[in-house]
Amino acid sequence: MAKLGKNRYGKSRVRLTRVTRLADRHVLHEWSVRVLLHGDFETSFTEADNSKILPTDTMKNTVYSVARDSKATTIEEFATELGDYLLARNAQVTEASVEIEEKSWERVSVDGAPHATTYKLGGPELATVHASRAQGGKWDLISGIDGLVILKTTKSAFTGYIKDKLTTLKPSTDRIFATRATAKWEYAMSDVDFTSVRERILKTLLGVFAEHDSMSVQHTIFDMGKAVLDAVPEIANIQLTMPNLHCLLVDLTPFGQENPNHIFVPTDEPHGYIEAMIER
């Protein structure tokens, strides 16, 4: 006999651009929102009864309506505001989850000053948040940065590893280190400046990555995470995922040429995959 297990439903990839028109400048946010609801929905699955189902189209419209009147300036603030709105109006919902990705639009500089109304895309990385709350509970927030593409051309080595009959990799004391990093962190306190925390985390990650004498991706991940915890007391932990996007040295000897760490083939598949949680 079949029975219904865990279930949820919602609306994903609700695209939203919001322009706040202040007297001296415009403020731009571009968000992609996903809403997921847990609750008393069993009869919609087992009895074709939709009486407790909030349409996902209504969820989409709720995103736009709440954004219209919202004073939130961060994705963390908007995620909790949107979730509170849905929980307060839907008693059949036991838990709401809101996930938001934000593009990194930056002001264009004109004559050395930030322009009031013109932006450029700062990079491929996205600011992220996953916010969840049960009815009557507190918000659980996990903020992050996704798709941070970084590369350095030196200060990276890999030696001393296991070698067996299938090992063909040659040791390297000076290699390219490229990655598309993802960072996620949980907060150690409730009253924080989300923008400041994200900026300090990103600055610390980039600084340590650039200067670190890396003996492996694992070595660098730990030291990056440790430095973030030292620099940002507002967070309890940070999880870093750093795929190793290999740049392979080209063999030019068939052409009668040397290759003194000069010509490479960049690859992204297959790649090494390393992740770790660094916590207090």
Give 255-272 pLDDT, tens digit per residue: 999 999 999 999 999 999
Q: Does any domain span residue 207?
A: yes
Domain count along the chain: 2
Task: State percent of the chain over pLDDT 70.
Answer: 100
Going by C-alpha positions, the residue among 199, 185, 173, 200 that lies closest to residue 241 is 185
Q: Does any domain span residue 58?
A: yes
Task: Look up 246 and say whether it is catalytic.
Answer: yes
Q: Are 104 and 158 found together in one domain? A: no
Domain residues for 17? 9-138
Task: Look up 56 and say whether it is catalytic.
Answer: yes
Q: Does any domain span residue 1?
A: no
Q: Are 245 and 169 found together in one domain? A: yes
Catalytic residue among 56, 94, 195, 241: 56
Predicted confidence (pLDDT) per residue in 224-257, tens digit: 999 999 999 999 999 999 999 999 999 999 999 9
Catalytic residue among 11, 29, 38, 60: 11
Task: Look up 165 and say whether it is catalytic.
Answer: no
Q: Are 169 and 271 found together in one domain? A: yes
Q: Are 273 and 152 found together in one domain? A: yes
Q: Does any domain span residue 3?
A: no
Q: Omega of the bond prior to 270 within 30 degrees of 0, cis?
A: yes
Q: Are 152 and 133 found together in one domain? A: no
Q: Are 200 and 224 found together in one domain? A: yes
The series of mean pLDDT values per 10 residues for the chain, 280 residues long, is 96 98 97 98 97 98 98 97 98 98 97 97 96 97 98 98 96 96 96 97 98 98 98 98 96 97 96 97
Tell me the pTM. 0.94
